[in-house]
A and B are shown apart, each in its own frame.
Chain A
Amino acid sequence: MNRKPLLHLFEALMVIFLVIFLYPFVIVFINSAKDSFSVTQYPMRLPENWGQILLNMKSILTSENIRYASSFLSSIIITAVSLLAVTILPAQAGWVLVRAKTKTSQFIFFMFVAAMVVPFQIVMFPLISWFRTIYEVTGIKLLRTYPGIILAYLGFGLSLSVFMYHGFIKGIPFELEEAATIDGCSKPAVFYRIIFPLLTPTHATICILHGIWIWNDFLLPLLILGKGNKIQTLPLAVANFAGAYVKQWDLILTAILMAMIPVIILFLLAQKKIIKGMVAGSIKG
């Protein structure tokens, strides 16, 4: 009968643990409202003047090198279109790979999974020189453009996507499709009308995993888009504050805060769906 107080104690301990767990974010927040110098000298102090946070935000919003609005927009476009690409295309690929039980299909699937262990370092520079060769031969410009970076995200993201869709589709009974085929649906129609909607939990999982990666990614945009060009993502912009000698911590932390807020808000708004999707989607993966 004395289990109740124990449970309460545990509950309280977990809350304390959660606060400690998330405390680094508090540190980002309080230090965004300081000038560069107080950040490093008095990291744990509450800021003397909360208004500083607005000043820091203003210097970020107005910086020529950051171009916050346009960087933000580029980040959104790249993330959104890449997510469409890494869900729709691998989903249909995963479907045909499951349904065609041939050697070819098994081989292709194996190749995709094997590619998950290819280190990014091994392909990054050859990728750039290969893109340049394409440009010189065909005139198709992939460097410094949206199509280039989106294609790259599709390439790097498709392995995990195909892997997860493949796992989930395996669990969908084939009878469902048979019924639709008898009703006269074409193959693509079967997929898009019947199967695709069933994949919603997997879509959610993939959007979260890839979304987080693409939104925060640094090295790939650095190589494909380059710093300071017309198209620039938020992480590239933030990196402008970190010099070898001088790190402008006040602005770095404020910029981190500003890049974090939209993601966290989006996550909190949709967290029920996202978590449900993640939970449903990850088990089959």
Chain B
Amino acid sequence: MKKINGNNLTFWLFLAPVLLAFLMIIVIPFFVGAFYSLTDWNATARTGAELKFVGLKNFTDSFADPAFLYSFIITTIFTIINVIAINVVSIALALVVTSKLKLRNLHRVGFFIPYLIGGLILGYLWQFIFNNAVPAIGKAIPFMGFLADPENLLLSKVGTSVIALVIVASWQYAGYIMMIYVAAIEAVPTSLYEAAKIDGVNAWQRFRYITVPMIAQAFTITMFLTLVNSFKQFDVNYALTAGGPATIFMDKPIYGTELLAMNIYRTAFVSNNLAAGQARAVIFFIVLVIITLVQVRINKKKEIEL
């Protein structure tokens, strides 16, 4: 019996299509992009626009831009809240849909449905809800009048706009993460619970000492997915808040809910500075790699401890 090894024909034959696509779509453009970040590339037809090498100028400029630094901070805040919100909600939902409820299958389907719709569409839809539908409810129902008060509109303040982003992002993503937790919970042998019940262990203890450790492996994945997903958030940000409302940072008025991906997009297209956008994307990539490496490390350690 011959095993497959690293240099036989099947190995390379089976890998070839994927490697080719990987090279064509990710690797080469990645390095081309990294190269462009060191130039004054702009992808338009300016006169006398030969590609000039500018060294690290795009990088130093980026770090001197309050808007870029601020977007790091606000993205971090958003990510922390969002990761917690999504995971708490999806664990709760997962517990509901694996419970003894009669309609648990209906819930399972229902909670998943928002995930079927694209982020841009959801963003526009929720902007419409927060700005039009909620005040309309406030006006119609007397004791809910506070909803119609412009002071209370979620999207009118930076803090509450971030909450609004979290609401929409969690609403969209929780159903999917729920599925992963469901898988983990259902993989727990029922005999374990029964044995625990007989031993008189209460519900909270069963959750803490049986369910939690068993879903620890799922936790590594869900943390990875929610972390990367939150950090890369663009669609909902773009459609829901468009970066607004404004705030003041380092004594400069800038957009208050402009997450990193959107800052990169704006730099590239609104500010007509593609090369600078490219440089920011490189910085973004490096940060993302560090964060995910740390996260996976920590989770792996925790997994064993539990």
Contact = CB atoms under 8 A, between A and B. Distances in A.
Interface of A: 7, 10-11, 14-15, 18, 21-22, 24-25, 27-28, 40, 42-44, 89-90, 92-93, 95-97, 99-105, 108, 111-112, 114-127, 129-130, 151-152, 154-156, 158-159, 162, 178, 181-182, 187-188, 191, 209, 212, 215-218, 235, 238, 242, 249, 252, 256, 259-260, 263-264, 267-268, 271, 275, 278-283, 285
B102 A112 contact: no
B249 interface: no
Interface string B32-56: 1110100000010000000000000
Contact of A116 (B43, B228, B284): B228
12 contacts: A27-B128, A100-B6, A103-B6, A121-B281, A122-B284, A123-B33, A130-B24, A154-B17, A187-B10, A280-B183, A282-B180, A283-B183
A90 B14 CA distance: 9
Given A117-B289, A130-B32, A96 B111 contact: no
Interface in B147-185: 171, 176, 179-180, 182-184
B110 A96 contact: no
Interface size classification for chain B: 35 or more
B5 A100 contact: yes
Contacts of A152: 25
Interface of B: 1, 3-7, 10-11, 13-15, 17-19, 21-22, 24-26, 28-30, 32-34, 36, 43, 96, 100-103, 106-122, 124-126, 128-129, 132-133, 136-137, 140, 171, 176, 179-180, 182-184, 186-187, 217-218, 221, 228, 232, 235, 261, 264-265, 268, 274, 277-278, 281-282, 284-285, 288-289, 292
B14 A95 contact: yes
Contact of A260 (B32, B96, B117, B261): B117
Contacts of A215: 118
Contact of B6 (A105, A112, A238): A105
A250 B98 CA distance: 39
Contacts of A154: 17-18, 21, 25
A283 B112 CA distance: 17
A214 to B, nearest CB: 10
Contacts of B26: 115, 118, 123, 155-156, 159
Nearest to A279: B183
Contacts of A235: 118, 120-121
A159 B265 CA distance: 24
B102 A11 contact: yes
Given A44-B133, A187-B10, A256-B121, A96 B171 contact: no
Contacts of A118: 26, 30, 285
